[in-house]
Amino acid sequence: MKILIAEDDLHIRQGLSDLLSQEGYEIVTAENGKIALGLYHKEKPQFIILDIMMPEMDGYSVCREIRAVDNDIPIVFLSAKSEEIDRVIGLELGADDYISKPFGTREVVARIRAITRRFLKSSVSESADATDAKTDSFKFGDLEVLVNELRAKKGEACIDLSLREIKVLHTLARHQGEVVSRDLLFNECWGYDHMPNSRTLDQHISKLRKLIEDDPSDPQLIKTVHGAGYRYEI
């Protein structure tokens, strides 16, 4: 999923870009509203984060222009404005949510995951029949991974997952019993044009084990094959 971030503050823009890239989203950024509107038409993002107070064109105006041609794309306002009237204006223009600065990274990720789930569920219900919908989940050990809900079910428990985590699990599941090299995981889950270091991959695997393994210190689903990569086995 591609997210457009429109924010004139370089540090906030870069911070959000790095944070959401780690979650598995593809990111395009704009430093003002005019550029953001151009990127919306050129890049065709599936999600938009808009600062309100921007040069050239404010976030309200950008939202109004987009909503004139697209009522479905999720839009989140990001602003230092905290007055109730500002929230009301944003929501009346068609925004899906409103996040006030300063904000915590967990809050941003949680809200975007929630909106992404609604968007993916809606897309599936509109474009897939009951048979096709089965392809939107897969088994991983005793987990049922629900791709379009960004979560997995383990018995009665639900485990929230990022897009990146789901990509890693899906790649390992497709190669069940085989050694999956680090290069293959990088290419499948990060993309050929983005090569994170080994430490990044190790951190993601460690986090996944804490989420899905009964005993993360003695993993049974995601095995380390020293010097080669990882293997999923059941």
Q: Write the CATH number for 210.
A: 1.10.10.10
Q: Round to whole Å and give the CA distance between 114 and 118.
A: 7
Residues 158 and 222 both lie in one domain: yes
Calculate mean pLDDT across residues 40-47.
94
Domain end position, chosen among 126, 152, 186: 126
Q: Which residues contact 46 (CB under 8 A, 6 or more apart)?
A: 1, 2, 3, 73, 74, 119
Domain end position, chosen among 78, 102, 126: 126
Q: Which residues contact 145 (CB under 8 A, 6 or more apart)?
A: 137, 138, 139, 152, 161, 166, 169, 170, 173
Residues 15 and 81 both lie in one domain: yes
Residues 65 and 145 both lie in one domain: no
Residues 107 and 158 both lie in one domain: no
Q: Determine which helix (DSSP H) or strand (DSSP E) holds 78, and give its type and residue range.
A: strand 75-79
Q: How confident is the model at residue 134 (pLDDT cuts 50, 70, 90)?
A: very low
Strands 75-79 and 151-154: unpaired
Q: Which residues contact 15 (CB under 8 A, 6 or more apart)?
A: none
Give this prediction's pTM: 0.71
Residues 171 and 217 both lie in one domain: yes
Tell me what the pLDDT averaged over the chain comes to. Answer: 85
Domain end position, chosen among 103, 126, 149: 126
Q: How confident is the model at residue 107 (pLDDT cuts 50, 70, 90)?
A: confident
Calculate mean pLDDT across residues 193-200.
63
Residues 103 and 181 both lie in one domain: no
pLDDT for the residue 54: 93
Residues 185 and 207 both lie in one domain: yes
The encoded tokens of residue 208 equal: 């996944």
Kindly report the CATH number assigned to the domain that includes residue 50.
3.40.50.2300
Its domain, for residue 202, covers: 134-232
Calculate mean pLDDT across residues 141-163.
89
Which residue has better confidence, 127 or 136? 136
Are residues 114 and 108 in contact, defined by beta-carbon separation less than 8 angstroms?
no
Residues 67 and 163 both lie in one domain: no
pLDDT for the residue 176: 94
The encoded tokens of residue 117 equal: 């789930």
**pLDDT > 90: percent of the chain:** 48
pLDDT for the residue 104: 87
Split into its structural domains, the chain has a count of 2
Q: Which of 73-77, 123-127, 132-136, 203-207 is least confident?
A: 123-127
Residues 33 and 122 both lie in one domain: yes
Residues 25 and 119 both lie in one domain: yes
Calculate mean pLDDT across residues 202-213.
91
pLDDT for the residue 3: 94
